[in-house]
Structure 1
Amino acid sequence: MIYKVLYQPDKIRNPKRETTETLYLQADSAAAARALVEDNTPYNIELVQELSGKFLAFEQQEPGFELTEF
């Protein structure tokens, strides 16, 4: 499955919508996706969302769509 992870670049500052960033990754479950990001980055994770069907097709059309590998 492909997951969209919304995060803040660090855990020190208060989260702000303007600084929220996105990465996409492939994992077996949302919990596995969260664990991958937590284990490999200093990011403050806001949301992990599964993408499939039309939602995935829409996201793949975005210029910044790229699967992150850890």
Structure 2
Amino acid sequence: MIFKVYFQETITEVPVREKTKTIYVEADYEREVRTKLADRGYNVERLEPVTGAYLNYEKQNEDFKVLEIR
């Protein structure tokens, strides 16, 4: 499953919509995504599973790239 992750680049940053960034991560569960991103120091605001028509829509975006994190 692919998750869309909304985050701030540093854990100390207060979530501000204009500074929120997104990445896509492949994982089986939300917890696995959080574990994969733990060492990056991101302030994760929200995780959203991306499936079906929503996934097809996101794939049309030129910035769509799924991160391969182990």
TM-score under structure 2 normalisation? 0.91
Separation in 1, partners of 2:12, 2:3: 25
Give distance in 2, aligned partners of 1:46 and 1:31: 14
How many residue pairs were aligned?
Answer: 69
Alignment correspondent of 1:26: 26
Does residue 9 of the first structure (1) align with residue 9 of the second (2)?
Answer: yes
The Cα of 1:69 is off from its aligned counterpart by 1.6
What is the CA–CA distance in structure 1 between the aligned matches of 2:62 and 2:7, rounded to whole Å? 19
Distance in 2, Cα, partners of 1:69 & 1:21: 17
Q: 3-state SS of the aligned residue for 2:32?
A: helix
Moved beyond 6 Å, runs of 4+ = none
- Note the residue ranges of structure 2 that are not aligned, 5 or more in a row: none
CA deviation map 1:12-54 (0-9, x unaligned): 221110000000011011111122112x311000011111000
Three-state SS of the structure 2 residue aligned to 1:48 is strand
Equivalent pairs: percent with the same residue? 33
CA distance in structure 1 between the aligned counterparts of 2:22 and 2:67, rounded to whole angstroms:
10
1:69 corresponds in structure 2 to 68
Structure 1: runs of 5+ lacking an equivalent: none
The aligned counterpart of 2:48 is 49
